[in-house]
Amino acid sequence: MAPWFHSLLQPWTGVPSCSIADCRTADFRTSGDHYEVMVNGWWHEVLADKVIHHAENPTGRAVVCRTQVHGIPCFIPGPQT
């Protein structure tokens, strides 16, 4: 899975910054016109420019990448039911 994580690019810059070390599968939901993702027991809003609409997500769940410095640089939605 590491190559897939390394292939992820920040949507607003096209720069790779979503490493497997910073990414985890997560619960998510939609709220109005944006996504929210569960991180450490709290719901966090995901800004629209951080969402990667990746055609193939091999995890089968939402993936959030988060760092202390950059917050959430990228988010990949999971399957929606």
Q: Is 32 inside a domain boundary?
A: yes
d(CA 29, CA 40): 15
Is the pLDDT reported for residue 22 higher than 90?
Answer: no
Q: Is 10 inside a domain boundary?
A: yes
Q: Which tens digit of pLDDT belongs to each residue from 27-68?
A: 999 999 999 999 999 999 999 988 988 667 888 899 998 888
**Please, which residues bridge with residue 36 across strands?**
29, 45
Number of domains in the chain: 1
How many residues are listed for the chain in this entry? Answer: 81
- When pLDDT is cut at 50, 70 and 90, the band that residue 81 belongs to is low
Q: Is 30 inside a domain boundary?
A: yes
Q: Is 69 inside a domain boundary?
A: yes
Kindly report the pTM of this predicted structure: 0.83
The domain in which residue 15 lies consists of 2-76
Q: Is 81 inside a domain boundary?
A: no
Q: Is 43 inside a domain boundary?
A: yes
5, 62 Cβ separation under 8 angstroms:
no
Q: Is 61 inside a domain boundary?
A: yes
